[in-house]
Structure 1
Amino acid sequence: MRLKIAVGLIVAGLLAVVWGIGLKTIWAPPETVTASYSSDAAAPLTVIEPAVLKQSPDNVDIKVEGDGEFLLAVGRSDDVKAWVGSAAHTTISGADDGALQGSRTDGDAKVPNPAGSDLWVSEETADSAIDYSWTDPAPGQWSILLAADGTKPAPTKVTVSWPNDTATPWALALIIVGALAAVLGGALAVVAGKRSVPPAPPAAGRPGGGRRVATEPSSPVGGWTPDRESGRARFAAGALAALALAAGPALPAQAAVPAAEAAGAGTEQAAAHPVLLPGQLTRIMDAVGAAVSAGDSAKDAKKLQDRVTGPALTMRSANYRVRAGKGKVEAPVPVSAGPVLTSMISSTPEWPRTAVAVTKGKNNPVPQVIVLSQAEARENYKMIGAVQMLPGTKFPQVSTEEGGTAAVAPADKDGLAYSPQQALELLSGYLTSGRNSNAVAKNTFADQIRSFQKDQQTSNKNAKITFSRSIDKGSVRTLRTADGGAVVYGTLRSLMRSLPSESGAVVELSPEFAALAGADSTTKGADVTYAEAVFLQVPPAGSNDKVSVVGVAQDLVAAKLK
């Protein structure tokens, strides 16, 4: 019986060894997995979703084939989805059973060309085909957008390949277990061979003085004693335990890895990532700087419109008109695209989005705060404000290393000493009459403004001059700071109204006012409007700090006869 067990162990062990070696060689899994998708359903856009790009923690190779030139753009998944909007598109959503899964969504048959959008972290143009090696640009969910020109069909022939998991822990376990089983079987065979020839029992008594051996009646002559039998049983059990230990570390671990992956799959929490990466911000700043430089050089507001809007466009356009009419105003302060000293990027995905960059170029005596805004997904970022930092001020810190921070609505006071709207109203009163000094910190800009206002009122004998201010509500942008407070950008419209001091009196207009009003004087009066762009720091709730002015810019923007 023992010999049969030994032979069975040897055979089973050798089969396990052969099986394990086969798993490493003949039946080894392929090194690369490939899945493809192709469709004849035409749509102007094709989206490759994150599930396709996350088939492997290592690189995923993507091959796209199309007719003629096409664009491959990489963007955050939510941004790609927002840009696609209501357009007809093909979605490649994942891989299953060796094939990529895709579907078509009906919608607009034509869209703008997505090339050059600020939403894309990177983009490449290909002719007929492209081989693209995918790696995540940064933490978060990413997608790929394919398009021809927005009117022609986008490519839909996509092949994805990634490194396969070629680990075969069962193979090593089988080889180890098989070898141990064969060795154990051989040992049992040897033992069984010796047991088959028992020694002769000793003589009970032999003449000539031979030795007598006394035996206990209960002790079987020539066999194993009970102690010896149990010892050998323990040896066999120990050997089997060794086999289990040898296999144990390899087998359960293989089962645990997929379980851990399954537990983590789909549970990634949406992180508040900044809506722009540093490379995107640099590219945007370069485009803004180039547009402003072209407009300033030609005194042509049309050259600004692709990258400048809102108060910044109004202020520069008026400056060009005044200077063209021989008005005595200084040229606007140049906008430096870089270097970017620090930045604050909104992590709030909704539009409009805000980005703030602090730069200092060689033509700027002090650092500038450039405020950028993106109105909606298919528009690029445009500069809405450029202010010069006041002497002695420091730019507030952002709580995240990436520079991302939450946006705040104009009327939102949550966690703040004042809402953004309230902070601007406090500053407006402080500039106009000096009130609200208990809430607004003293600053050189306010001192200069009130000095100018007083001078205008005392020096014009033929006119009664008053000042009032209102907030351009569409200009307000707010981002949280590391201390729990916020920075607020907004524009105040400062109205200087000049009325004749008595009937028939003539109010003379300065050359810069005349350039905008179209006349040198009036007997009815005139309204002159200045834009005052301000960048404020609002303290957190419970703080004893005041609202402080970090940067400002002021320009004449309108003059109208009454």
Structure 2
Amino acid sequence: MRFVWAVAAFVLAALMLGAGIAQRTVFQGPTAQSETIEVAEEVPYLLVDGAVLRSQPGSQTLRAQGEGEIFAAYGRTADLEAWLAGSEYAHIKLDGEAIESEVVAPETEPTAEGETAPAPARNPAGSDLWLDEFVQEDLLIETLQLPEGMSVLVAADGVAPAPSKLIVTWPLVNATPWAGPLFVGGTILMAVGVVLYFLAIRNVRRSRGPRRKGLPMPPAPQPADMSVEQSDKGVISASPTRRALSGKRRGFLVVPAVAVSALLFAGCSSDAWPQLGGTPTPTPTATVITPESQQAPAVTEAQAERILQRIADQVATADQTSDAAAAAVRLTGPALAERETNYRLRAAIAEEEPLPAVPAGPLTVLLPQAYDEWPRTFMAVVGDEESGNTIMFVTQADPWSEYKLSYIGSLDSTTELPLAPEYVGATQVSPDNAFLAVAPEDLAAAYADVLDSGADSAYSDLFDEAADQFRIGVANDRQARLAAFNETGAQTGSLAFDSVPGTQQPVALATLENGAIVAVTINENETVKPTNADAVIKLDGNPTVSTLAGATQSATGFTTTFGDQLFFYVPAKASSERIQLLGYTSNILDAKVIP
């Protein structure tokens, strides 16, 4: 009977395992569906609307084939359309359930001669506007998971035609929830059959066959005749050997069947099992309420990190060769002006040290402007406690320009500020904002007066003096210079200091409590001139001023200008807080002979 049950277990195990394998193979069906998109016209760019990619559930695999390099990037749809303005491109979009391609003619502007001309061809590779980009040779295959509001740009180099054929593939949900239980059940029955089979074999060997009562006993076995012929030798030992081999072979055949079942069980993914229980309730997290009218942040964290790295690399290259034109690719405003001066000095003075390198990271604080138009700005703090922290403002003038560093300074304060998360961003504060303790356009003049007049300034009480190391340093430096000058040239000359607002426009981003982080520039002028008609001001031992002024002595005197880049936290006018200096940098900008 054990043989019968063993055979039944083997048969049921084979049926269950076969059914499980069939579910995962012949009965499973296709695992993906594809859509082919063909563009009849030759155009340099393809804009694949995000709605096309999201027309089917799941991740999207984009495939484009052509000759040479194939470029693809994704970003906000509005950004891609802004970048493509003035260029001819094919817009692949969803019309109901159908995918259609429409060629968009370039927007042209009249030239000086009254003619119209399309925008010049632009290579999209390396633009700061993309959230991510991909370049592959001849065949591009990328898997995406684009949210709403995102689209994809496909091109070659902006001159050659873009690939005319695209294939988008989506995965199909093809779960086989009973394959796993069938594999497990078949494996268990297989093991039961093996156990029953061995029990049956052991029982037969012990009983040595059936016996009946009342029948005469068989004759006792006679000793084996060992004098058999040579041709019969080996027959006596052959039978036990065949039985042993047969038993081993049966055992060997059963073990692989169990092993195969175990492998099938181990290879089952989650879609091979029934999904029991409901959808887990997500743990609630803190949320930030974004106003409906607020626009999207200018950059993401990954995008900002990539931009900062590109800026650092470009400026490092410019620093190696003192190339102001190369620095202007990624610098503007006061950040560029201080390096242009440093390059002039390094070209004339061998001992002149280069300015500190622009750090690329790690990025610790990011506050992007929430704005859909241009120019766009974001504030970043990079560095750590060991190397020091640097605060920067970075701006993009238009969709086709690189982000450029305009303000940079060493972070001097460790105050925690009420900043919005980077995925929300902040609005830019207008220069004449009347709700701050001091409007951004008036901040530089107010602080310049504090530097010159100290506690006697009408604005002194607005600023937090205790945390302002820059103000203390300026006062100490001026006092030391006056003391040294009075010892040597006070009888024939005079030394005076004054601070004035710089020409650079302030940049301000709002904080959560109606305050703002504001960056301004101040020029500190140091003027030395003779007080005696026969006296001459000589620049002995001061190659820096003489190099910039182009003279070593003057009967009228010299004015040396230092440029200060200053970062402040300005609270709301209704707040009891004071304006706090967050960071600064100060370097010589120019020197001139007094006319």
Same fold (TM over 0.5): yes
Cα distance in 1 for partners of 2:307, 2:131 equals: 11
Structure 1 residues 359 and 31: alpha-carbon distance in aligned structure 2, compared to 1, 3 A threshold: closer
Percent of matched pairs sharing the same residue: 27
Aligned counterpart, 2:420: 399
The farther-off stretch of 69-78 and 471-480 is 471-480
Contact preservation (8 Å) 2:39, 2:101: no
Q: Give the C-alpha shift of residue 147 in structure 1.
A: 1.9
Cα distance in 1 for partners of 2:503, 2:93 equals: 42
Cα distance in 2 for partners of 1:77, 1:496 equals: 52
Aligned counterpart, 1:483: 513
Aligned counterpart, 1:380: 402
Cα distance in 2 for partners of 1:473, 1:166 equals: 65
Q: 1:100-140: per-residue Cα shift (whole Å, max 9, x none)?
A: 3433323426322110011111111133432332202xx65
The alignment status of 1:64 with 2:64, answered yes or no, reads yes
Structure 1 residues 292 and 104: alpha-carbon distance in aligned structure 2, compared to 1, 3 A threshold: closer
Partner SS, residue 460 of structure 2: coil
Paired residues for 1:266-305 under 5 Å: 272-305=295-328
Aligned counterpart, 1:318: 341
Aligned counterpart, 1:8: none
Paired residues for 1:320-339 under 5 Å: 320-326=343-349, 331-339=354-362
Q: Which amino acid in the other structure matches residue 577 of structure 2?
A: D
Cα distance in 1 for partners of 2:402, 2:579 equals: 32
Q: Which amino acid in the other structure matches residue 126 of structure 2?
A: G
**TM-score scaled by structure 2?**
0.66
Structure 1 residues 329 and 396: alpha-carbon distance in aligned structure 2, compared to 1, 3 A threshold: farther
Structure 1 residues 447 and 403: alpha-carbon distance in aligned structure 2, compared to 1, 3 A threshold: farther
Q: Give the C-alpha shift of residue 296 in structure 1.
A: 3.5
Select the residue among 167, 192, 195 that pairs with 1:159. Answer: 167
Aligned counterpart, 2:80: 80
**TM-score scaled by structure 1?**
0.69
Q: Give the C-alpha shift of residue 553 in structure 1.
A: 0.4
Aligned counterpart, 2:383: 360
Q: 1:307-343: per-residue Cα shift (whole Å, max 9, x none)?
A: 2222112112212322443387654233321222222
Structure 1 residues 60 and 427: alpha-carbon distance in aligned structure 2, compared to 1, 3 A threshold: same
Select the residue among 135, 147, 150 that pairs with 1:142. Answer: 150
Aligned counterpart, 1:258: none
Q: 1:84-106: per-residue Cα shift (whole Å, max 9, x none)?
A: 12112211121545433433323
Q: Which amino acid in the other structure matches residue 517 of structure 1?
A: A
Q: Which amino acid in the other structure matches residue 376 of structure 1?
A: D
Aligned counterpart, 2:537: 507
Paired residues for 1:409-488 under 5 Å: 409-413=430-434, 415-434=435-454, 435=457, 436-442=459-465, 443-457=468-482, 459=485, 460-461=489-490, 462-488=492-518
Q: 1:223-280: per-residue Cα shift (whole Å, max 9, x none)?
A: xxxxxxxxxxxxxxxxxxxxxxxxxxxxxxxxxxxxxxxxxxxxx9776432222221
The runs of 5 or more residues in structure 1 that have no matched partner are 1-27, 168-267
Structure 1 residues 401 and 356: alpha-carbon distance in aligned structure 2, compared to 1, 3 A threshold: closer
Partner SS, residue 336 of structure 2: helix
Contact preservation (8 Å) 1:374, 1:380: yes
* CA RMSD, 1 decimal: 3.0
Q: 1:462-483: per-residue Cα shift (whole Å, max 9, x none)?
A: 3334444443454422111232
The alignment status of 1:127 with 2:148, answered yes or no, reads no
Aligned counterpart, 2:373: 350
Contact preservation (8 Å) 2:508, 2:517: yes
Contact preservation (8 Å) 2:498, 2:525: yes
Q: Give the C-alpha shift of residue 382 in structure 1.
A: 1.9
How many pairs were matched up?
A: 430
Contact preservation (8 Å) 1:90, 1:156: no
Structure 1 residues 327 and 431: alpha-carbon distance in aligned structure 2, compared to 1, 3 A threshold: farther
Contact preservation (8 Å) 2:300, 2:422: no
Partner SS, residue 462 of structure 2: coil
Select the residue among 111, 118, 137 that pairs with 2:121. Answer: 111
Structure 1 residues 127 and 389: alpha-carbon distance in aligned structure 2, compared to 1, 3 A threshold: closer
Contact preservation (8 Å) 1:66, 1:129: yes
Cα distance in 1 for partners of 2:52, 2:446 equals: 52
Contact preservation (8 Å) 2:559, 2:591: yes
Contact preservation (8 Å) 2:301, 2:366: no
The farther-off stretch of 499-508 and 525-534 is 499-508
Aligned counterpart, 2:525: 495
Q: Give the C-alpha shift of residue 513 in structure 1.
A: 0.6
Partner SS, residue 317 of structure 2: helix
Cα distance in 1 for partners of 2:445, 2:296 equals: 32
Q: Which amino acid in the other structure matches residue 441 of structure 1?
A: D
Q: Give the C-alpha shift of residue 358 in structure 1.
A: 1.6
Cα distance in 1 for partners of 2:543, 2:72 equals: 54
The alignment status of 1:522 with 2:554, answered yes or no, reads yes
Q: 1:428-473: per-residue Cα shift (whole Å, max 9, x none)?
A: 2212222110212212211222333344456252333444444345
Q: 1:33-52: per-residue Cα shift (whole Å, max 9, x none)?
A: 54443233233222112221
